[in-house]
Amino acid sequence: MIIILIGYMASGKSTIGKKLAEKLKCDLVDLDDYIEEKEQLTVTEIFKNKGEIYFRKQETHYLKELLASESQIILSLGGGTPCFGNNMELILNEEHATSIYLRASLPTLVKKLIKKKAKRPLIAHLETEEELTEFIGKHLFERSAFYNQAEVVISTDNKSKKDIVNEITTKLF
């Protein structure tokens, strides 16, 4: 079984993915890390040198590759992955995969991202909390139609990592 974690940046995909992988005794694969390893370039370098269209094509290629895996893995996707090409359709049509949307509210995301925006190229240029809130709100509005197609939706607001992991395992098993 492949458990696929989707959601906006800072929704907890990597952190929850690690805890879930520990609990289920399986590997965590971060799609962006996997792409970087295969391409021998960072995601930022791919965008800069080859462009977003190239990146999105490779993202779909590597997503298909991982979905074809026979291994039990936790697969953490980039925030935009479900929203491009036919990626969400691929995810939903994969029989041995279950998609989980880690849904965090706009205030929760802003609170988390305001502290780390320098490390996030997509939002590093935003100077005020108001600009950040507007940017994330617009993105969430555009992406929620994709995210909400996930087979399981877990609200993460005001929950501990342990509680989120327990909720996921309860819903899946």
Q: Residues comprising the binding site for ATP?
A: 10-15, 120
Return the bridge partners of 97, or none.
2
| Straight-line distance from the first to the last Cα atom of the chain, in angstroms, rounded to the nearest whole number | 12
User: Residues 6 or more apart from 28 whose CB is under 8 A from it?
Assistant: 17, 18, 20, 21, 73, 74, 76
Cα 59 from Cα 57, distance rounded (Å): 5
- Bind-site residues: 10-15, 32, 56, 79, 120, 143
**Which amino acids are annotated as binding site for substrate, given as ranges?**
32, 56, 79, 143
Check residue 150 and report its DSSP letter: S
Task: Report the sign of the C-alpha dihedral through residues 92, 31, 67, 23, in that order.
Answer: negative
- Binding residue numbers for Mg(2+): 14
